[in-house]
Structure 1
Amino acid sequence: MAPEPAQSTVYFDGSCPLCRAEIGYYGRTDQAGALCFVDVSEPGAETPDGVTQQQAMARFHVRASDGRLLSGAAAFVEIWRRLPRWRWAARVASMPGALAVLEFGYRLFLPVRPLISRGLGRILQRGKQEGRGA
C-alpha cells in the first residue's frame, strides 16, 4: 500500500465570513484529510515563513505537501488538486495561460472582497437572528 501523501496547509482569514464559508466547504469536501486549515486571524496563529499575519489575511496562501508556498490563484489550484471532486478544475488551470487568467481574476476580486464579505456577514447574521425568533 502506498504511503499517505502529506497534507497541504491552507492559511485563511477566519475573520472573513466569505473565507470561512469557502474553507468550511473545502473542509467538508476533504474526505481524505489531505488539507490542514490554519485560521491566521487568530491571535498568535502560525503563518508561513516570511509572511506576516496581515499579509496572510490579505492574500490566500497554501503550503503544498511538497513544501512550496503558493498564494493567490496558485493556492486555490493546490486545494483543487487535493480534492477529488475538484481535480478537473486543477487540470483546467494547468492549461497554458489559465493560471495567469485566474490570478488576474483573483487580483480583481481582492479589492472587493471586504464589501462582499461584509454583505455576506450581514446576511448570515440576519439569518441567525430570524432563526432565534422562530
Structure 2
Amino acid sequence: MSFTVWYNTRCPVCDAGITHQKRRLIAAVKAGAIEFRDINHEPEALASCGATLDQIRRRLHVIDENGKLVVGADVAIEIWRRTPGEHWLATLTGNRVVKPVTRFVYDRFADLLYAWNKRRGHW
C-alpha cells in the first residue's frame, strides 16, 4: 500500500501546493510510493474512515502505508519528510515542541482557505 494523499484540486492554493510537491516527488510517484488523489473525483473515498467530503476539502488527508488515516498538519509534515530538500522543514515543524503550534497555524489557515473557497464557489 502506498502513502495516498487526498486533496481538493478545486482549491487553487491546494492544487498549486500539491502540484509543486508532485514535481519534487516525481521519483516516489513513479515508483508508487506516494499517490496524490483528487477527492472531487471520488467524494466517498474516505467515508469508511469517517471523513466527509467537506473535511477533506478543508484539510489534507492521507491513508498511510499501514492503512492509518492522517489529517492536517501531520500530512504536510510527512510530505515534507519525504520530499528531497524539504526534510529540514519537516524536522522544524514536526518536532514535539513546535508541532502543536504547527497544527494550530495549519488549522486556522485551512479554516480561512476553506471559507474563501466556499465564497468563491470553488466546489
Kindly report which structure 2 residues correspond to 1:1-134, keeping only aligned pairs within 5 A, or say none.
Answer: 7-32=2-27, 33=29, 34-42=33-41, 44=43, 46-47=45-46, 49-113=49-113, 114-115=115-116
Question: Please, which runs of 5 or more residues in structure 2 have no aligned partner?
Answer: none
Over 6 Å off, 4+ runs: 116-119
Structure 1 length normalisation: TM-score?
0.72
Change (3 A) 1:15 1:45: farther
Q: Identify the range of structure 1 (27-36 vs 12-21) with the bigger mean alpha-carbon deviation.
A: 27-36
Change (3 A) 1:30 1:18: same
Change (3 A) 1:27 1:115: same
Task: Figure out how many residues of one structure are paired with residues of the other and give that number.
Answer: 115
In 2, the alpha carbon distance for the partners of 1:12 and 1:86 equals 20
* SS state at 2:6 partner: strand
Letter in 2 for 1:97: V
Change (3 A) 1:90 1:97: same
* SS state at 1:85 partner: coil
C-alpha displacement of 1:117: 9.2
Of structures 1 and 2, the one scoring higher in RCO (CA 8 A, sep 6+) is 2
In 2, the alpha carbon distance for the partners of 1:78 and 1:86 equals 10
* SS state at 2:26 partner: coil
C-alpha displacement of 1:67: 2.6
| Identical pairs, percent | 30
Structure 2 length normalisation: TM-score?
0.78
Question: Please, which runs of 5 or more residues in structure 1 have no aligned partner?
Answer: 1-5, 122-134
Letter in 1 for 2:116: L
In 1, the alpha carbon distance for the partners of 2:99 and 2:56 equals 20
Deviations 1:1-22 (A, max 9, x none): xxxxx53110001111111101
